[in-house]
Amino acid sequence: MRNAFAETFYEAARNNEKLAMVVADISAAGSMDKFRQEFPQRFVNTGVAEQIMIGICAGMAMRGLKPFAYTIATFALFRPYEFIRDDLAYQNLPVTVVGIGGGVTYSQLGGTHHAMEDVSLACAMPNMRVIAPCDPSEVSAATQWCIGNEAGPVYLRLGKAGEKDISKNATEPWRYGKVRYLRGGREACIVGYGPILGMAMEATEGQDVAVVSVSTLKPLDKDGLGTLLSRYPLVVVIEEAVSRGGLGEAIRSLAYDTGATCKITCMSLKDKFIHKYGSHAEVLAAHGLTVEALKEKLNG
């Protein structure tokens, strides 16, 4: 996903001199390195100074540039949170904060690198838009939208590398602010965002179950979700984030407001720091997020 972001950004930057990249202690690689080498005057590495990264982006935006702040999700959002709030959101500046490794993607690095609360914190911030694509194709589309966005700040939550392109057979294109059906179905529906939807696609293989990507978490597509809640008897929400302030809570609240009668089951990261060090799949399993567990929810 980070490669898809870097390539999309690089190609756009070749024809848009306003695009700039500010990173914090991240080594440029692939297309990001191509951008750094070809446009060094538009690439800044602040080192371990994430607050400065956000401040520089704010200044660039106020001078008419289109900056992106880019680093590991925990350091992109948590460490400079006050600066994002005051410098970007309060001023409503069109800066995109890119968080790499949302959820527990950086599994072996432990809790300091696990962005479990980022969705909740970003969605709680006034003026902030939150986008969490499910695969490289959605990343490219979302990045292009962010490049053209002039409305205000965006938190773009990405995975890391090696994610499968699960939306290639989707019946509709990616659109900002809209839910997207990756797979049709009638018996039930799995709703989520980010790379963990790959688990949903695997769990529903050969079943009459829909899979829906809610990549735009703020503003939420209440009309699209309302239609979904009225259509299916069972809705399973899966997210690689804590439940409090997440998509599951938002959908349950919407169901209450609209009088939906469907059964809603939510799966998320546990509300605890789990000292499990291993592969991404192993850490997800420690949080109860597996294909087998998802199938049980569908059959329960």
Flag whether pLDDT at 289 surpasses 80.
yes
Strands 209-213 and 43-45: unpaired
pLDDT tens digits for 1-29? 999 999 999 999 999 999 999 999 988 77
The sheet with strand 43-45 has its strands ordered as: 43-45, 19-23, 66-72, 96-100, 154-157, 129-131, 216-218
Flag whether pLDDT at 130 surpasses 90.
yes
pLDDT tens digits for 90-99? 999 999 999 9
DSSP 8-state code for residue 79: T
pLDDT tens digits for 226-256? 999 999 999 999 999 999 999 999 999 999 9
Stronger pLDDT, 162 or 260, i.e. the higher one = 260
Confidence band for 208, pLDDT divided at 50, 70 and 90: very high
- What is the pLDDT at residue 135? 98
pLDDT tens digits for 213-224? 999 999 999 999
> What is the Cα–Cα distance from 147 to 18, expressed in whole angstroms?
10
Task: Give the CA distances from residue 159 to residues 73, 91, 131, 178, 188, in Å, rounded to whole numbers and listed in that order.
Answer: 9, 28, 12, 20, 26
> What is the Cα–Cα distance from 54 to 57, expressed in whole angstroms?
5
> How many CA atoms are closer than 13 Å to the CA of 139, on its beta-carbon side?
26
Q: With H, G, I as helix, E, B as strand and everything else as coil, classify residue 30.
A: helix
Q: What angle do CA 290, 292, 206 make, to 5 degrees?
A: 115
Quote the mean pLDDT of the chain: 96
Residue 201 sits at φ, ψ, to 5 deg, of: -65, -40
Stronger pLDDT, 169 or 9, i.e. the higher one = 9
